[in-house]
Structure 1
């Protein structure tokens, strides 16, 4: 667990942090309509991939590698174990000079996330989780604090960018039953720890890329929270495009209440 945390922090220090608010012309590229990638993403992923493979020689499924060759994501189901890597989670924030970005990794065995790591460079904070062994921020074990019993006091995030207009309108209507609702911080590696630490009570995601959600979902589950599909199935990493829709919440009761309000709006 400590070795992987070191790999992420060192790759960040070498390839990512020196370029924060210092990206040169030509170091930001569009990889898909509305989505950017930087030289920091690519260099950090190359470093992390090499060192993880030295640590445990199983396939490394990195976000940028999959962007170049989508078939690489098949390893999530085809191989008994894989590493998932998000070299710069929140690239749009990174490009804009906002500190809400993270470097993330998880280990998946037979389709289930068994370990995860999140490094937040702006605050030099590391989160990690191991299946059955708990969630941690640096050396402190984490337990999700109780959420408000009153739905009107719950704080949440609705990620509606990839929803069709009808579903977006329906879910946004349901949000009137809650307290403060925000569009989120554009980085799962920031948003999941916010739920774990009690700054947010729930988040509804639609698009669920595996390198975005495997790390935080395990962290949250090990801290006492819930990350599940809308039918109640616990989150498991899927290749991009396989399954969409994910509700994460502070605890099982908050998950049930939130799902009921959103789907019955």
Structure 2
């Protein structure tokens, strides 16, 4: 666990942090319509991939590698073990000079996330989680505090960009039942730890790219929270392309009540 945390911090120090608020125009590219990438993403992923393979020689499914060759993501189901890597989570924040970005990795065995790491360079915080062993913040055990008793006191985030118009209307109407609902921080590596530590009580996602959600989902569940698909089934990382929703919450009761208010009861 410690060595992977070191690898992320080292790659960040080598390829990411020197370019924070120092990117040139030629170092920001569009990799798909509406999706940008920087030289920092690509260089950090190359460093992390090489060093993770030295640690455990299994396939590495990295966000930028999959952007170039989508077939690489099939390893999530065809291989017994896979590394997942997001070299700069919150790239738009990074480009804009906002400090809310993270460097993330997770280890998936037989389709299940068994370990995860989230390094927040500008905040100097490392979150780790290991299946069945707990969640940690800079080496200190992390336990999700209870949510307030009344939903009117809950704080949440709703990522509505990929919702269809009908669902968006329903979610926006239901959001009035809660104390505060924000659009999120534009980085899963910031949002999941915020929920794990009690700053948020729920988050609704729709598109769930595996490198974005595997690390934080394990962190939240090992801290005592819930990360589940909208039918109530536990989150499992899957190949990109699906938009089937994910609700993360402080506990099962908070999950159930939030699901019912925003989208109706689970089937």
Distance between the aligned counterparts of 1:163 and 1:258, measured in 2?
17
Q: 1:93 maps to what in 2?
A: 93
Q: Tell me the CA shift for residue 232 of structure 1.
A: 0.3
Native 8 Å contact 2:29 2:37 kept in 1: yes
SS at match of 2:141: strand
2:64 equivalent to 1:64: yes
Aligned length: 265
Distance between the aligned counterparts of 1:249 and 1:242, measured in 2?
21
Native 8 Å contact 2:167 2:263 kept in 1: no
Normalization by structure 1: what TM-score? 0.99
Deviations 1:111-140 (A, max 9, x none): 000000000001110000000000000111
Matching of residues 239-258 of structure 1 within 5 Å: 239-242=239-242, 244-258=244-258
Q: Tell me the CA shift for residue 166 of structure 1.
A: 1.2
Q: Tell me the CA shift for residue 31 of structure 1.
A: 0.7
SS at match of 1:26: helix
2:232 equivalent to 1:237: no
Q: 1:223 maps to what in 2?
A: 223
Matching of residues 44-63 of structure 1 within 5 Å: 44-63=44-63
Q: 2:175 maps to what in 1?
A: 175
2:267 equivalent to 1:264: no
Distance between the aligned counterparts of 2:264 and 2:239, measured in 1?
29
Distance between the aligned counterparts of 1:263 and 1:113, measured in 2?
27
Deviations 1:203-232 (A, max 9, x none): 000000000000000000000000000100
Distance between the aligned counterparts of 2:263 and 2:40, measured in 1?
40
Distance between the aligned counterparts of 2:264 and 2:57, measured in 1?
47
Distance between the aligned counterparts of 1:40 and 1:244, measured in 2?
30
Unaligned runs of 5+ in 2: none
Native 8 Å contact 2:119 2:126 kept in 1: yes
Distance between the aligned counterparts of 2:182 and 2:175, measured in 1?
10
Matching of residues 108-257 of structure 1 within 5 Å: 108-242=108-242, 244-257=244-257
Distance between the aligned counterparts of 1:103 and 1:49, measured in 2?
13
Q: Tell me the CA shift for residue 253 of structure 1.
A: 1.0
Q: 1:29 maps to what in 2?
A: 29
Distance between the aligned counterparts of 1:244 and 1:42, measured in 2?
28
Q: Tell me the CA shift for residue 242 of structure 1.
A: 3.3
Native 8 Å contact 1:129 1:219 kept in 2: yes
RMSD (CA atoms): 0.9
Deviations 1:73-131 (A, max 9, x none): 00000000000000000000000000000000000000000000000001110000000
Distance between the aligned counterparts of 2:133 and 2:219, measured in 1?
10
2:14 equivalent to 1:18: no
Unaligned runs of 5+ in 1: none
